[in-house]
Amino acid sequence: MPGQLYKSAAIVGAAEANNIGFLDEPVTALQLHIEAIKNVCDQTGIPINRIEGVFSTGWSPELCEHLGITPKYIDTTAVGGSSFELHVHHAMAAIHAGIIDVALITHGENGHSARKIGGRGPSNYGMGGGGVTAPGTEMTMAYGLGGAPSNYAHTMVRHMHRYGTTSEDYAHIAKVSRDWATLNPRAAMYSKEKHPFGGPITVEQVQDSRLIAWPLTILHCCMVADHGGAVLVTSPKVAASLNTKPVWIAGAGESMAHWNMLEMDDFTATSAATSAQTAYSMAGMGPADMEMALVYDSFTITAAITAEMLGLAKRGEGHLLWKDGRAAPGGSFPINTNGGGLSFNHSGMYGMPLLIEAYRQLSGTAEDGVNGDKGKQTSARTCVVNGTGGTLSTTGTLVLVADDD
């Protein structure tokens, strides 16, 4: 029995900035936002000045001013890479409540270009609002942790200890994600021509690549590139007036367990178990009803744990989805069909590419490959999407279904 918000809103369009990936010509995060917004409005035929709600990780006031619009609903939820799945949840609630009919969810982050021109912008992930004066920071800053890999490595070791898995088990996730990327011309690691380290990889290559934080080698880690993307979420009435296909939001949920990894009770679990339960319940569906999944793969271990939390695999067996080939191109349960944060694109926060790929798959507009290659379009009609933010901290889960036509 679906919940009250079941299909009360739809994603009606999804677009990216004109250029994404490891861009030679540096771009700003704002430019990535604006290009994506322009593109999604062109795609759907919804004029920019008809946007009523703006959802972003802290950018909304600047974006509204830049676009010259006066919104009725402003949301700046910034809880890490999962923020965009939470934005969909929030937009759905605002639409259901009758406050707005057209919501823009937008992302721009120049993770790669920032090395040349600076400026990640107000994305606010990583440390809590307290910064260096937060007691959680005070009690961890002495101990040599740096970027995300330095922390996430601890979760893989605990997972290995608890379930007898090996880092090689997770390496299959990196390999399969790369296989998907080779079907996607927009993926940063699509080919050797596109990136020196692009093209197909083997499990052995994943294991033999540069050690970052044992047991994580660099190919167990997502990239940091440039990405901008935007989706429009509307009421059913507006969706019916458009030429683009709606992808229905059947269920949505969000949760968090900890913010600082010090407070992570179980290093082999995330709050996705909770957010997924909320989303499945709203949809009146369960894991067995899902035909594909898009999960945040900041690291191979993130994807494995998330698959377990979403009920797609038993605890300790998430990696088998990839190792057995079920998640791979041609497999029975496609996962991360764009190539994931591991091989498609990850700019720092990956929640937006999840939404865009979900829209493309379920609207039948996933890219078709080039030069006669088989493309990445699957036949899936249902998809569970899960964003993970912070240090396996915050989660947003969506159950999306294709339109009945």
Contacts to other proteins by CB under 8 A:
132-133, 135-136, 138-147, 149-150, 153-158, 161, 210-216, 260-263, 267
Cβ proximity to other proteins: between 32 and 261 the closer is 261
User: Residue 221 CB, nearest distance to other proteins (Å)?
Assistant: 10
User: Residue 344 CB, nearest distance to other proteins (Å)?
Assistant: 23
User: Residue 236 CB, nearest distance to other proteins (Å)?
Assistant: 42
Cβ proximity to other proteins: between 210 and 237 the closer is 210
Cβ proximity to other proteins: between 106 and 151 the closer is 151
User: Residue 386 CB, nearest distance to other proteins (Å)?
Assistant: 23
Cβ proximity to other proteins: between 68 and 131 the closer is 131
**Beta carbons of 184 and 190 less than 8 angstroms apart:** yes
User: Residue 139 CB, nearest distance to other proteins (Å)?
Assistant: 4
Cβ proximity to other proteins: between 265 and 405 the closer is 265
3-class DSSP string for 272-308: HHHHHHHHHHHHCCCHHHCCCEEECCCEHHHHHHHHH
User: Residue 215 CB, nearest distance to other proteins (Å)?
Assistant: 7
User: Residue 199 CB, nearest distance to other proteins (Å)?
Assistant: 23
Cβ proximity to other proteins: between 156 and 400 the closer is 156
CA-nearest of 87, 94, 123, 10 to 396 is: 87
User: Residue 178 CB, nearest distance to other proteins (Å)?
Assistant: 21
Tokens of 298: 């900041």
Cβ proximity to other proteins: between 132 and 288 the closer is 132
CA 364/CA 245 separation, integer angstroms: 9
Cα-Cα-Cα-Cα dihedral of 93, 75, 383, 344, to 10°?
170
For 84, phi then psi, to 5°, come to -70, -30
b/e burial code for range 282-311 (CB count within 10 A of at least 16 → b): bbebeeeebbbbbbbbbbbbbbbbbbbbbb
CA 108/CA 85 separation, integer angstroms: 15
Cβ proximity to other proteins: between 154 and 326 the closer is 154
CA 200/CA 205 separation, integer angstroms: 10
Four-residue CA torsion sign, 313, 314, 315, 320: negative
User: Residue 274 CB, nearest distance to other proteins (Å)?
Assistant: 18
CA 343/CA 183 separation, integer angstroms: 11
**Beta carbons of 306 and 270 less than 8 angstroms apart:** yes
Cβ proximity to other proteins: between 93 and 145 the closer is 145
**Beta carbons of 242 and 11 less than 8 angstroms apart:** no
Cβ proximity to other proteins: between 143 and 405 the closer is 143
User: Residue 201 CB, nearest distance to other proteins (Å)?
Assistant: 19
Q: How far is CA 29 from CA 26, 34, 320, 353, in A?
A: 10, 9, 37, 15
Task: Please tell me whether residue 335 adopts helix, strand or coil conformation.
Answer: strand
Task: Please tell me whether residue 105 adopts helix, strand or coil conformation.
Answer: strand
**Beta carbons of 160 and 147 less than 8 angstroms apart:** no
